[in-house]
């Protein structure tokens, strides 16, 4: 699929990976609906349609897809990049933070996909990208709920991939390692923050544009080629 002329929805587009993907697709000629809760951030992005969206609210998700259907009549690309990370050891964690992580990272992704899929099925084509994390494979102390949410994203994506084969829809799971984003600003636990800080200072970490390049690569492969899973780490990252 060539981004030029395609209609794309990117969640979590106000910063980080979502923002970088929205920019890359827009630069490639796609019509990009850039969605996130922080509308003021989205309005600074050039060449996109800003859309205020909280992926945890079913009514907002439904309204967003109705708007896309009415304005564009189709959806070719979906990039689920909305996510949060509040890290703490199990004994020290706030269960409300766990709920927010699961509702955003997993249920929000599932809700957006559920609402978007009928448009792609009707067209008999499309490409869905779900942003997970290397934490979905390798859970470490201090981020149990985040790891659980990303593990769930992996399981959901594999089931979705198998379901979508008969509709001509490709599905790609992205599992980045350390990326320089705002995600780590949500970490309140001093010990966990220090561990992440030390890891990031010890290597040249990925930039959001590196993940965006992977999206464009997978997207532009021939239709018979499905890049189903991608693990992308900094060269120096061991874990």
Predicted TM-score (pTM) of this structure: 0.94
- 8 Å CB contact between 30 and 5: yes
Pairing of strands 229-232, 7-11: unpaired
**For position 86, what pLDDT does the model report?**
86
- % of residues, the chain, pLDDT over 90: 82
167 annotated active-site:
no
Q: Does the residue 180 lie in any domain?
A: yes
- 8 Å CB contact between 109 and 153: yes
Q: What is the pLDDT of residues 127-166, one digit of tens each?
A: 999 999 999 998 887 889 999 999 999 999 999 999 999 9
Q: Which domain holds residue 73?
A: 7-225
Q: Which residue has tokens 């699961």?
A: 102
Q: Does the residue 235 lie in any domain?
A: no
Q: Does the residue 1 lie in any domain?
A: no
Torsion of CA 225, 153, 32, 41, to 10 degrees: -150
**For position 185, what pLDDT does the model report?**
66
* 226 or 189: which leads in pLDDT: 226
* CATH number of residue 136's parent domain: 3.40.50.720
- 8 Å CB contact between 20 and 208: yes
Q: Does the residue 238 lie in any domain?
A: no
Q: Does the residue 15 lie in any domain?
A: yes
Average pLDDT of the chain, as a whole number:
94
Q: Does the residue 236 lie in any domain?
A: no
Q: Does the residue 40 lie in any domain?
A: yes
Q: Does the residue 112 lie in any domain?
A: yes
Total of domains in the chain = 1
Catalytic one of 98, 129, 146, 156: 146
Q: Is 148 helix (H, G, I), strand (E, B) or coil?
A: helix
């Amino acid at each position: 699929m060539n981004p030029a002329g395609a209609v794309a929805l990117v969640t979590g587009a106000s910063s980080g990976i979502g923002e970088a993907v929205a920019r890359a697709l827009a630069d490639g000629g796609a019509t990009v609906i850039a969605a996130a809760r922080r509308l003021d951030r989205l309005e600074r992005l050039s060449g996109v349609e800003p859309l205020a969206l909280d992926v945890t609210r079913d009514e907002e998700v439904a309204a967003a897809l109705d708007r896309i259907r009415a304005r564009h009549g189709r959806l070719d690309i979906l990039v689920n990049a909305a996510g949060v990370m509040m890290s703490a050891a199990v004994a020290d964690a706030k269960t409300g933070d766990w709920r927010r992580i699961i509702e955003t990272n997993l249920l929000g992704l599932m809700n957006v996909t559920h609402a978007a899929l009928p448009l792609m099925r009707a067209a008999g084509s499309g490409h869905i990208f779900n942003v997970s994390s290397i934490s979905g494979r390798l859970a470490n102390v201090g981020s149990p709920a985040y790891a659980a949410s990303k593990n769930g994203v992996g399981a959901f994506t594999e089931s979705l991939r198998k379901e979508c084969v008969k509709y001509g829809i490709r599905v790609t799971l992205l599992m980045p390692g350390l990326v320089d984003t705002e995600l780590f600003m949500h970490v309140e636990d001093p010990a966990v923050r220090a561990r992440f800080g030390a890891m990031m200072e010890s290597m040249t970490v990925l930039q959001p544009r590196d993940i965006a390049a992977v999206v464009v690569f997978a997207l532009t492969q021939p239709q018979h080629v499905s890049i189903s899973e991608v693990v992308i780490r900094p060269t120096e990252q061991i874990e």
